[in-house]
Amino acid sequence: MPANSAIEKVFLDELYGMVADNSLILPTLPEMALRIRDLAEDDDTSLADISKAISSDPALAARVVQVANSPAFRTRTTFNSVDMAVKRLGGNMIKNIVTSMVMEQLFQSTTEVTDRKLRNYWHHATEVSQLAMEIAQFHRHLAVDQAMLAGLIHDIGVLPIISLAEEFPELLRNEAQLDRLLRNAHTAVGTAILKDWHFSDEMIAVCEHHEDLQYHTEGPAEYVELIIAANMLSGHKKADMAAIAEMRDIPAFDKLGLADLSATLAQSA
């Protein structure tokens, strides 16, 4: 992705360097991180409780699945949901991993700009995840738990951009420039992260193509098409739909049987 200024090039070079040398830390909301840490350290907490808590935070959900698919734990099965990853790792292991990850990833934002953007992202990711789960229930070939993960991680590339921006005062003083970076770079950054973490091809495709409204595949809808639709139906994106003349022109809506619904929503946006 070409940078629009010298500062953006420096920023992206550093960011991709962190992805390459595995030094990237994804921020999470402080209160969410502390709540999950407390759950993980409680001997009375069940795996289901931990799984549910992890699934409420995009950064931690992505990390847990990444660890389950790492060489130390990998089997012939690729784990595409938080529930699968938690069951694979087991009680004591997942509690230790979550506790260490939470402390590593605890993001104490020092600026109003980055704190607001992090919270906006978290809200959007959970909304898209919920919409994806609801749509997936009407398509038997789409697993609801994988739909949830796809929604949580579709914009995962924005997290390191937000975090690293704390070290670039020029970007914090120019919010329009930061927004441009988030908009233009998040798919490439997210794709690089998930490839490095050995996520499944389906989840990588979600990161890479979810902003491409003309993306389509042969056969039944795939998770990337599910997230394209859920992303556009979310409050964060719904206003954009009013500018689209015909929802049936978006392959994902047509394939998922949502064209009429989305047209109605566009009129009310």
* pLDDT averaged over 10-residue windows placed end to end, the chain, 269 residues: 72 88 76 76 83 85 85 75 86 70 65 88 90 92 89 91 90 91 92 87 95 89 94 73 61 83 49
Q: In this structure, is the dihedral angle defined by the CA atoms of residues 195, 118, 54 and 41, taken in order, positive or negative?
A: positive
Return the number of other C-beta atoms located less than 10 Å from residue 3's C-beta: 16
Q: What angle do CA 66, 46, 33 make, to 5 degrees?
A: 55
In this prediction, residue 70 carries a pLDDT of: 81
Domains (range + CATH), the chain: 30-105 (no CATH), 112-268 (1.10.3210.10)
Q: Hey, what's the torsion of the CAs at 106, 112, 113, 114, to 10 degrees?
A: 0
Q: Is the distance from CB of 40 to CB of 227 less than 8 angstroms?
A: no
Is the CA virtual torsion 11, 113, 162, 158 positive or negative? negative
Is the torsion defined by CA of 15, 148, 109, 170 positive or negative?
A: positive
Q: According to the model, what pLDDT value does residue 105 have?
A: 61
Task: Confirm if 65 and 131 have CB atoms less than 8 A apart.
Answer: no
Q: What is the pLDDT of residue 269?
A: 44
Residue with tokens 């789409």: 142
Cα(54)–Cα(58) distance, integer angstroms: 8
